[in-house]
């Protein structure tokens, strides 16, 4: 530490290394000093590769005190020069200590910090129990609080999961089972039953949510054009065999034994259920508006065909059950006249 190499010895060592003249290297070191001072004044930082960088740091004015005399002195704002070595140089110097690494201390740390605040007060009263009692309840309280907190988090999650599992099992199967009678309804008057269904419909309208009311508003407009199709459907059914022969008797006579038409796109046609059909698709085929799917539902329901209801049952059940009761008013009695049954499957004409 106390050793120090002189400037001339340093110059001689560099001369041995490089083989240049003494004067050049002496000038080089002196010029580097001059240039660093100029560079610090200009930029505030000077880099020298593999050695480090010099920095100027600005200190604010402050009031100090002379430690010998105790006089107060105002220290003006000023610069200081700092040097920081490069990381490669720091590693090169510390290569002896490279294997040492910082280690954590577990027990000393808490023991040292709490002692100084506690000692001055409890010494006259009871110095011994203070360090023993305080740490124990603190640890226990934290554990108890943590255990309760876990329970409060877990219990509502379990309740929510159970609610999702067991919620929908009650109301689902009602509409399908209610009407087993298939042929009797057709045999009886079809006109009377929808009239009975119309009356109770008015009550549930109040309880239903706002979303359904929006759907109603959407459907109120398309209902009127749909009526244009209905007379077309009604007329050809019964009179299909009659008005057709007005144009050509020979051609209509051939068509009379074949009343069934392909239902897609034609209002008066028939339709047989196929995989992929919904109430929506059928409503789109016959009424050209998929929002009128409750009509198709009621038509099949009047027939009492459980198969058809089972295959076409795609929409959410609760929603359908509520919505259909509401739209019973909007379906004319005459629609149900155009329903017939062929080969066990319902056919809409």
Partner 1 sequence: MTNSELIKTLSSRLGQSQVEIKRLLKSSVKIMKEIIDEDVGVSIPGLGTFKTFIKSKRRSYNPYHKKFMVLPPKRVIKFRSSSSIKNELKFTRQKNE
Determine phi and psi for 223, rounding to 5 degrees: -65, -40
* DSSP H/E element including 34: helix 22-42
The nearer residue to partner 1, 14 or 223, going by C-beta atoms, is 14
Indicate whether 13 belongs to the interface with partner 1 (CB under 8 A). Answer: yes
Residue 257 token pair: 């034994």
Question: For residues 325 and 323, what is the distance between their CA atoms, to the nearest angstrom?
Answer: 5
56-95 residues in contact with partner 1 (CB under 8 A) are: 56, 58, 60, 76-83, 85, 89-90, 92-94
Question: For residues 263 and 258, what is the distance between their CA atoms, to the nearest angstrom?
Answer: 14
Q: How far is the CB of 87 from partner 1 (least distance, A)?
A: 12
Indicate whether 248 belongs to the interface with partner 1 (CB under 8 A). Answer: no
> Is the CB of residue 329 less than 8 Å from the CB of residue 198?
yes
CA angle, 198 then 313 then 225, to 5°: 50
Indicate whether 149 belongs to the interface with partner 1 (CB under 8 A). Answer: no
Residue 313 token pair: 């049952």
Q: Which of 67, 70, 72, 104 binds partner 1 (CB under 8 A)?
A: 104
The interface region with partner 1, picked from 7-15, 145-153, 240-248, 315-323 by CB under 8 A, is 7-15
Indicate whether 10 belongs to the interface with partner 1 (CB under 8 A). Answer: yes
Indicate whether 138 belongs to the interface with partner 1 (CB under 8 A). Answer: no
Query: Which residues have C-beta within 8 Å of that of residue 169, sequence separation ≥ 6?
Result: none
The nearer residue to partner 1, 60 or 206, going by C-beta atoms, is 60
Indicate whether 24 belongs to the interface with partner 1 (CB under 8 A). Answer: yes
What burial class does residue 322 get, using C-beta atoms within 10 Å of its C-beta: 0-12 exposed, 13-18 middle, 19+ buried?
Answer: middle
Indicate whether 21 belongs to the interface with partner 1 (CB under 8 A). Answer: no
Indicate whether 146 belongs to the interface with partner 1 (CB under 8 A). Answer: no
Indicate whether 186 belongs to the interface with partner 1 (CB under 8 A). Answer: no
Residue 192 token pair: 């009377």
Indicate whether 43 belongs to the interface with partner 1 (CB under 8 A). Answer: yes
Q: How far is the CB of 95 from partner 1 (least distance, A)?
A: 9
Indicate whether 49 belongs to the interface with partner 1 (CB under 8 A). Answer: yes
Q: Which of 67, 102, 116, 120 binds partner 1 (CB under 8 A)?
A: 102
Indicate whether 135 belongs to the interface with partner 1 (CB under 8 A). Answer: no
The dihedral formed by the CA atoms of 42, 43, 44 and 46, expressed in degrees to the nearest 10: -110
> Is the CB of residue 276 less than 8 Å from the CB of residue 286?
no
Indicate whether 31 belongs to the interface with partner 1 (CB under 8 A). Answer: yes
Indicate whether 158 belongs to the interface with partner 1 (CB under 8 A). Answer: no
The dihedral formed by the CA atoms of 136, 142, 146 and 148, expressed in degrees to the nearest 10: 80
The interface region with partner 1, picked from 96-104, 131-139, 154-162, 235-243 by CB under 8 A, is 96-104
Question: For residues 332 and 335, what is the distance between their CA atoms, to the nearest angstrom?
Answer: 6
User: Which residues would be at the binding site for partner 1 (CB under 8 A)?
Assistant: 1, 3-7, 10, 13-14, 17-18, 20, 24-25, 27-37, 39-52, 56, 58, 60, 76-83, 85, 89-90, 92-94, 96-97, 100-106, 108-109, 112
């Amino acid at each position: 530490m106390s050793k120090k190499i002189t400037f001339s010895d340093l110059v001689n060592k560099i001369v041995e290394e490089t083989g240049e003249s003494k004067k050049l290297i002496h000038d080089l070191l002196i010029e580097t000093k001059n240039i660093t001072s100029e560079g610090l004044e200009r930029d505030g930082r000077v880099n020298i590769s593999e050695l480090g960088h010099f920095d100027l740091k600005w200190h604010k004015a402050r009031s100090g005190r002379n430690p010998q005399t105790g006089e107060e002195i105002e220290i003006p704002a000023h610069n200081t020069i700092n040097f920081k070595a490069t990381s490669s140089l720091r590693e090169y110097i510390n290569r002896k200590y490279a294997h040492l690494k910082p280690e954590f201390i577990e027990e000393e740390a808490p023991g040292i910090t709490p002692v100084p605040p506690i000692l001055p007060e409890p010494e006259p009263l009871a110095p011994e129990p203070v360090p023993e009692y305080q740490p124990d309840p603190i640890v226990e309280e934290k554990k108890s609080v943590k255990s309760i907190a876990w329970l409060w988090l877990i219990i509502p999650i379990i309740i929510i999961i159970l609610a999702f599992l067991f919620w929908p099992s009650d109301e689902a199967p009602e509409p399908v089972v209610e009407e087993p009678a298939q042929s009797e309804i057709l045999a009886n008057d079809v006109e009377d039953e929808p009239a009975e269904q119309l009356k109770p419909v008015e009550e549930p309208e109040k309880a239903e949510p706002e979303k359904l009311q929006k759907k109603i508003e959407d459907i109120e407009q398309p209902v009127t054009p749909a009526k244009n199709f209905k007379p077309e459907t009604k007329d050809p059914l019964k009179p299909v065999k009659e008005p057709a022969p007005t144009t050509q008797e020979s051609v209509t006579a051939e068509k009379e034994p074949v009343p069934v038409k392909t239902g897609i796109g034609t209002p008066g046609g028939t339709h047989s259920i196929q995989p992929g059909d919904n109430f929506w698709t059928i409503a789109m085929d016959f009424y050209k508006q998929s929002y009128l799917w409750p009509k198709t539902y009621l038509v099949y329901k009047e027939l009492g065909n459980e198969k058809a209801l089972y295959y076409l049952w795609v929409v959410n059940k609760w929603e359908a059950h509520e919505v259909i009761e509401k739209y019973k008013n909007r379906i004319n009695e005459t629609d149900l006249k155009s329903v017939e049954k062929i080969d066990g499957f319902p056919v809409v004409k």
